[in-house]
Structure 1
Amino acid sequence: MATSRLATTTAVRLPPLPTISDLVRLYRLRAQKQLSQNFLMDMNLTDKIVKAAGPLKNGYVCEVGPGPGGITRSILKVGAKLCVVVEKDRRFLPGLQLLGDSVEGRLRIIHGDMLRYSGENLFPANSITEWNSDPPNVHLIGNLPFNVSLPLLVQWLHHMSNHTGPFTYGRTKMTLTFQKEVAQRIVAQINEPNRCRLSVMCQYLCYVKHRFTIPGKAFVPKPDVDVGVVHLVPRIHPRIAHPFKMVEKVVRSVFHFRQKKCKRGIAILFPRERTDLVEEVSRYSGIDPTSRPFQLTVEEYARICDVYANICSREPGIYEYEYR
């Protein structure tokens, strides 16, 4: 029994390979500013990111934006059965292929843009688990370029709400890097200065945790900001039981005037002359209309959505109404 436990935690030894720094020099790779690229060369840090994802042995991983492959090596080193990397920049493909050739089918390389890639059909059907059971041994991991991190996260949240894309396998866990300020916004609780609509959208669908911060000086080239590593696990039951786009519209509207009373944001959900509907939301949701948006709990946003959905079901054209 002791031997079996030891085997599950022993790292897989990779064959001798050029270091990440060697690959960067060999293929003359330079981070492109327009793509918000920053390389993480320190394998201790890539190992730490992978450890934050949880046990990956015999698991399946989709890594987004592997670049020169530092995190990829850490994923393979801990014994993932298959790592699928999605890389938009073809300059990194030869170095990734060199790594793939050394691990006998455990690395699959997709040249493409994750924003245009559904993330379905990546892994075998036997990796799928029921949504209401434990999360599958399937993971999304990525040192995301700053310019696509938020669009990707919102896209994944939408997929999560519908159990599509990477979430066809069940409650796929995500371990992702963001600018430190964005990471703080994702996990911010009520009354905290970084509380925003992103906080509510992530927390109504996920358990979120800011694992640790990586100083900017650890990256090449050094960004102007530090980087936060965030772990997100989908909830079995979302805390707001309405379609993603409706929730996003309500939360976006309320936070439109972040420092104003939340009643001001609720008002832009409706035509200007329908003050009666604004009063209805305030009255039946049970919220304090003088509260600021960042002072409302997820449950209070859920009640606002409940009343708004009821109004939309009986008032033609209200859901289609846009403030601007």
Structure 2
Amino acid sequence: MAVSRKVASFRLPPLPTVGELIKLYNLRAEKQLSQNFLLDLRLTDKIVRQAGSLKDAHVCEVGPGPGGLTRSILNSGVTDLLVVEKDSRFIPGLNLLSEAAPGKMRIVHGDILTYRLDRGFPKNISKSWEEDPPNLHIIGNLPFNVSTPLIIKWLEHVANRTGPFTFGRTRLTLTFQKEVAERLTACTGSKQRSRLSIMAQYLCTVQNRFTIPGRAFVPKPEVDVGVVHFTPLVQPQIQQPFKLVEKVVRNAFQFRRKYCHKGIEKLFPEACRMELTREMMQRADVDPILRPTELTIPHVRALADAYAHLCRHEPSLLTYEFREELRLKHLNRNKTKAVDTFMDPSGSTTQSAPQPC
């Protein structure tokens, strides 16, 4: 007779609730750090499920705070959880969790924007880029003020296969302000289509999994929150350096309501602006009167390839920045005014100095 056996699963021993830890350590969400606590363990469990199966997985949690999401990750069957927390107020509560899950949780008191994740996990978990993703996940309920710069930094790491992507096509499950989540996943032609849409989607499969109402957080933010899942593509849809692609996309979207050629023009110095813009648009075979939100990734790929071609013939174009040119013009204009204007003894401006013959 067959004997059924239940597979033992790890569960944290009884611990103070997240709310009790907040009271115990007198923790407050800092507004200037865009902190909002998620205390509902049903919702933290739901976020963790979006990452897929975490059985025997290695996980990095970004900004665990009081540890609500941390508990859900530990209960999901992970082998190893590395948490990176910048705010020292949360370290004692995280130490309690670590003691309750011996050998499973490591704590780094540091800034995720500078921490070297490529050194945080053993090399033997790596997979080649062409294989399935490694059993390594990044999960985080991100503060609003760090979410956009952090995802741009990680997208650059995806493009260069550095940082957490030295291990292969590491998957990310992250929270964003709802509007940012919509931009990351916006399709061509939608009003939310933006620079973030292109930069994320040319490198990753990006899915907006579900929305958490703001009232679920403490304190309640003014906006809802979206949970977004990223899986790096085997082949990026644009085969140009990340910085070059980012520059083309940033310029194309700087005048959202105008035709796309208006932003593309600002890639070039004034002396050759019209000529090179015309050449770039023709080489890319992109209609110059498309709106930026109407640009597909193939359009952007063609524009990036055309811009790269022009830069190979004139390398100084790569370092040209329209905003820097404006700044220098403004400085020179102010210097000229200072030379051409003199002050009366009371300190008020009187008249322009006479011009030399």
The interval holding the TM-score normalised by the smaller chain is over 0.9
Q: Does 1:268 align with 2:257?
A: no
The residue identity in structure 2 corresponding to 1:154 is: I
Give 1:245's aligned residue: 243
Which one scores higher on RCO, CA 8 angstroms, separation ≥ 6?
1
> What's the secondary structure of 1:157's corresponding residue?
helix
TM-score (norm 1): 0.97
Give 2:286's aligned residue: 287
2:98 to 60, 76, 100: 100
Aligned ranges 1:185-204 → 2 under 5 Å: 185-204=183-202
Q: Per-residue deviation at 1:11?
A: 4.7
Q: Per-residue deviation at 1:200?
A: 0.3
Over residues 63-85 of structure 1, what are the superposed CA-to-partner deviations in whole Å (9 max), with x where a residue is unaligned?
00000101111111011100100
The residue identity in structure 1 corresponding to 2:296 is: T
Give 1:120's aligned residue: 118
> What's the secondary structure of 2:174's corresponding residue?
strand
Give 1:212's aligned residue: 210
Q: Per-residue deviation at 1:3?
A: 6.6
1: CA distance, partners of 2:88 / 2:49: 28
Please report the RMSD computed on the Cα atoms of aligned residues, expressed in angstroms. 1.4
The residue identity in structure 1 corresponding to 2:280 is: V
Give 1:142's aligned residue: 140
Q: Per-residue deviation at 1:2?
A: 11
User: Aligned residues: percent identity?
Assistant: 56
Q: Per-residue deviation at 1:192?
A: 0.5
The residue identity in structure 2 corresponding to 1:33 is: K
Q: Does 1:315 align with 2:314?
A: yes
2: CA distance, partners of 1:236 / 1:3: 41
Shift in alpha-carbon separation, 1:3–1:279, aligned structure 2, 3 A = farther
Aligned ranges 1:85-96 → 2 under 5 Å: 85-96=83-94
TM-score (norm 2): 0.88
2:39 to 41, 47, 56: 41
Give 2:329's aligned residue: none
Q: Per-residue deviation at 1:316?
A: 3.4
The residue identity in structure 2 corresponding to 1:163 is: R
Over residues 147-187 of structure 1, what are the superposed CA-to-partner deviations in whole Å (9 max), with x where a residue is unaligned?
11111111111111111111111000000000000000000
1: CA distance, partners of 2:296 / 2:289: 14
Shift in alpha-carbon separation, 1:309–1:3, aligned structure 2, 3 A = farther
1:254 to 252, 255, 265: 252
1: CA distance, partners of 2:3 / 2:99: 33
> What's the secondary structure of 1:156's corresponding residue?
helix
2: CA distance, partners of 1:3 / 1:209: 38
Q: Per-residue deviation at 1:22?
A: 0.8
Shift in alpha-carbon separation, 1:315–1:40, aligned structure 2, 3 A = same
Q: Per-residue deviation at 1:12?
A: 2.2
Q: Which runs of 4+ in 1 moved over 6 A?
A: 1-4
> What's the secondary structure of 2:82's corresponding residue?
strand
1: CA distance, partners of 2:127 / 2:119: 14
2: CA distance, partners of 1:3 / 1:229: 38
> What's the secondary structure of 1:268's corresponding residue?
helix
Q: Per-residue deviation at 1:273?
A: 2.4
The residue identity in structure 2 corresponding to 1:132 is: E
Q: Which structure 2 residue ranges, 5 or more long, are not aligned?
A: 324-357
Larger radius of gyration: 2
2: CA distance, partners of 1:303 / 1:2: 62
Over residues 27-62 of structure 1, what are the superposed CA-to-partner deviations in whole Å (9 max), with x where a residue is unaligned?
111111111110000000000000001111100000
The residue identity in structure 2 corresponding to 1:224 is: E
The residue identity in structure 2 corresponding to 1:267 is: E
1: CA distance, partners of 2:4 / 2:191: 49
Give 1:178's aligned residue: 176
The residue identity in structure 1 corresponding to 2:134 is: P
